[in-house]
Structure 1
Amino acid sequence: MTAGVLSSSGSSGRRWLVAALVLFVAQIAILYAMGRVPICECGYIKLFEPEVNSSGNSQHLGDWYVPSHIIHGFLFYGLGWLILRRASVPARFSLAVLIEAAWEIAENSPVIIDRYRTATMALGYSGDSIINSAMDTVFMALGFLFAARAPVWLTVCIALFFELFTGWLIRDNLTLNVLMLVWPVDAIKVWQNAL
């Protein structure tokens, strides 16, 4: 599936994929230089951290924010299609990796970490481990590749399902996360913290 989508442009496509890989490695290197911990300070790596309000959230390979990162991939595919219609899928993929890597770096800056602590339900948030941040980018990439192959209606239905399911299960999702980061609503914060 992925080989067909990303190899559509021959050597030019390979160059864009190398660019995406370089961006991914740069993301990891910058996070390391920022002092982010490589893995959870607990000393081990879990496949999935089921507790949202725990010290393990955003520290392991996956957590309940994986659906949000997959939706990032859906959205970045759509954005690339809108603004770079003539560009190859690998070129759009590189743009998606650039945006996600930039967000992962910004999200782990002291300013955004403090904003999460004060404005959202993430009261004890201390930032992502490097492995969690890297996996967030991988999940975005999987979302992008899915959106590149799937019908639009299916991609939209999955995004809506993810949003509704995580909103119901953990009282947070991509929409609420962005809203509370940009324009906090006290009533939503109270509702989220009642979990």
Structure 2
Amino acid sequence: MLEENDSRNRHALLWLAACFAVLIIQMVTQHLMGRLWICECGYVKLFEPVVKSSGNSQHIADWYTPSHIIHGFLFYGLGHLLLRGKPLTAKLFLGTVIESAWEIAENTPMVINRYRSATISLDYFGDSILNSTMDTLAMAAGFLFAARMPVWLTVTVAIVFELFTGWLIRDNLTLNVLMLVWPLDAVRDWQAGI
């Protein structure tokens, strides 16, 4: 029994190390892509409250952080479906790979230009490496929350996040995906306050 627990603990640590390695790969890849480590302004803020500013997506957190927490909720559900019987850390690894892949793709010129042409993010020039890394860590926090809390609470938190950010900044995960995949003039006008 003790040997079995030791083996499980070793496997969990290996999966966590793999998650950390993916995060490092994400950071190095973005550095090689020319992304800045921190905001061009030269300082780091805990939270950037202004969406339409050059500081958005540059600091530790912003109004899009709840979207990344919701990613964690969704990736926990995906891991639960695809990796039944596997340890929680293996499922977290799956979520980390998906989130890191998105963070890298999101900061390519093609996706940055798509954001700028299809959404209200006209001044979006990509994330700093700090912000992108924190987005991945926010996903991990959401993942761990979903793993420990009842489904009803996780769903309620996701709905509250979506409604609150939708009301406050006229954007959220749902609208972000919609406008990237299938931009609607009516939604863009509403987001712009027209």
Question: TM-score with structure 2 length normalisation?
Answer: 0.95
> CA separation in 1, counterparts of 2:8 and 2:167?
41
Query: Does 1:153 find its partner at 2:161?
Result: no
> CA separation in 2, counterparts of 1:49 and 1:190?
24
SS of alignment partner, residue 43 of structure 1: coil
**Cα-to-partner distance string for 1:15-44 (whole Å, 9 max, x where unaligned):** 101000000000000000000000000000
Query: Does 1:25 find its partner at 2:24?
Result: yes
> CA separation in 1, counterparts of 2:169 and 2:12?
39
> CA separation in 1, counterparts of 2:93 and 2:161?
24
Tell me the equivalent position of 2:141: 142
SS of alignment partner, residue 53 of structure 1: coil
Q: CA RMSD in A?
A: 1.3
Tell which structure's C-alpha radius of gyration is larger: 2
> CA separation in 1, counterparts of 2:64 and 2:108?
18
**Cα-to-partner distance string for 1:138-166 (whole Å, 9 max, x where unaligned):** 10000000000000000000000000000
Tell me the equivalent position of 2:181: 182
Matches within 5 A, 1:10-89: 10-89=9-88
**Cα-to-partner distance string for 1:142-191 (whole Å, 9 max, x where unaligned):** 00000000000000000000000000000000000000000000100011
Where do 4+ consecutive residues of structure 1 move more than 4 Å? none
Matches within 5 A, 1:80-99: 80-99=79-98
> CA separation in 1, counterparts of 2:16 and 2:165?
31
Unaligned runs of 5+ in 1: 1-6
How far apart are residue 10 of structure 1 and its match?
1.1
> CA separation in 1, counterparts of 2:32 and 2:153?
39
User: Contact conserved, 1:8 with 1:88, CA < 8 A, in 2?
Assistant: no
Unaligned runs of 5+ in 2: 1-5
How far apart are residue 69 of structure 1 and its match?
0.3
The alpha-carbon distance between structure 1 residues 133 and 84, as it changes in their structure 2 partners (threshold 3 A), is same
> CA separation in 2, counterparts of 1:71 and 1:9?
28
Tell me the equivalent position of 2:3: none
Question: TM-score with structure 1 length normalisation?
Answer: 0.95
Tell me the equivalent position of 1:3: none
Tell me the equivalent position of 1:170: 169
User: Contact conserved, 1:60 with 1:132, CA < 8 A, in 2?
Assistant: yes
Report how many residues are paired. Answer: 189
Query: Does 1:103 find its partner at 2:102?
Result: yes
SS of alignment partner, residue 85 of structure 1: coil
User: Contact conserved, 1:8 with 1:89, CA < 8 A, in 2?
Assistant: no
